[in-house]
Amino acid sequence: MSYRYKKLIPLALLLLILGGLFFLPIKVPFSFQSMGLLNPSKKWSLRTDLDGNFYSELKNFQSGVIEQSTSYRFERGDIASLFFSKEIANNASIFKNDTIGMLSSRLVEDRIQKLESEMLVWEQQLQSRKSGEKEAVVEELRQKLIYAQQQFELTQKNFERSQILFLDSLIARDRFESAETEFITAKTNIEIARNSYNAVLSGAKPADIKLVEEQILASQKELQFLEETRQKYVLLSPLSGKLVLNQYLPKEVEYISIIDTTEFILYAPVKFHYKPYLSYDLKIDFTIPGTDETVQATIFDFTEHVEIISSNQVIFVKARISDPPASLIPGLSVKCKFAGEPVTLREYVKRTLDIFLR
């Protein structure tokens, strides 16, 4: 045998051995990797949109559905305020139906205050018209009218002065708004005082009494509606969990959120080439960054549509992490390993070539 053919013998033996391995019952693990994003099982958040309107959302990351969405819209020219409860603290535990805080509408509060004052006067008018008035009552209402007139003139001067100072940027907005509120209240009070005084002077007819009763009833209905509106501005937690205060406020602000961390949901994009090999039997594990702690996740869903990420066609795998460790944080990005049952060497090579040659 020539030297040339002797050199080919080791290569032929190697190829023979490798070829034989394909038919031996040797199995090797088949696995692949992907980056995943951790989310809580549920999250409630209070936000404002780009127009400054408040709204809240309750998202279920397991189903991907917005379970509840509430929009708090205020009238043009209104001033909306947000107040948190004193017990609110970052990372504090909170229970379902706990009070988080409340929204406040200046127009609603002013209208409630005005209605309450008007109803008090109308009820007094109704009582007096039914029973008649004495001179002492007439004099008392006259003095109230004089006092209301004096208060109106005083607050009017203060408002006009504050308006000039505010336009010249010499006083803060809240001080100007306080003067404006006092002026509006004084204007309302003088009208009420004048109507009360004129009413007792003119006497009351049955038709007048009925008119006052109808006015009281209408005001009661409006007041009830405003009270219900105010109650809807009270923010109650729709779930139990951990409270998160947002320290970074972009244009579209998420002021506060509540996360349910009894379970975590892992979202992991997987290249479409791996779709034939995805199954619910695959095991997912990852290491928490900065630690040696390994966490396992159980697949429960695959998306049925393809998305493009970094020029790659991917589908999303969703996996559940039950009884998660305390070191897991929503929004954390982790490197996931997908591992299935061991396959034969022949199948492993077939899958590898199929994936990378497509």
* Distance (Å, whole) CA 296 – CA 269: 17
Q: In terms of C-beta density within 10 A (0-12 exposed, 13-18 middle, 19 or more buried), how is residue 322 classed?
A: exposed
The predicted pLDDT at position 17 comes to 54
Q: Tell the residue number behind the tokens 């969703």, with chain if given.
A: 318
CA distances from 147 to 143, 176, 189, 201, 270 (A): 6, 24, 10, 18, 77
Q: In terms of C-beta density within 10 A (0-12 exposed, 13-18 middle, 19 or more buried), how is residue 342 classed?
A: middle
Write the DSSP symbol of residue 65.
E
For 155-186, how does the pLDDT look when each residue is reduced to its tens digit (9 = 90+)? Answer: 888 888 888 887 777 788 778 888 888 888 88
Residues of the chain falling short of pLDDT 50: 1, 3
For 116-156, how does the pLDDT look when each residue is reduced to its tens digit (9 = 90+)? Answer: 888 888 887 777 666 655 566 677 888 888 888 888 888 88
Is the pTM higher than 0.85? The answer reads no
For 253-287, how does the pLDDT look when each residue is reduced to its tens digit (9 = 90+)? Answer: 788 999 998 999 999 999 888 888 888 888 999 99
> Residue 38's CB: how many other CB atoms inside 10 A?
24
The predicted pLDDT at position 14 comes to 57
Picking from 116, 94, 19, 111, the residue whose alpha carbon sits closest to that of residue 244 is: 94
The predicted pLDDT at position 260 comes to 94
- The helix/strand/coil state of 320 is strand
The predicted pLDDT at position 240 comes to 93
Picking from 56, 36, 94, the residue whose alpha carbon sits closest to that of residue 260 is: 94
Question: What's the number of CA atoms in the CB half-sphere (13 Å) around residue 38?
Answer: 28
Picking from 19, 215, 50, 201, the residue whose alpha carbon sits closest to that of residue 122 is: 215
The predicted pLDDT at position 97 comes to 92
Q: Which CATH superfamily is domain 29-38+262-356 in?
A: Efflux pump adaptor protein, beta barrel domain (2.40.30.170)
The predicted pLDDT at position 336 comes to 93
* Distance (Å, whole) CA 255 – CA 13: 70
List CB contacts of 308: < 8 A, sequence separation 6 or more.
314
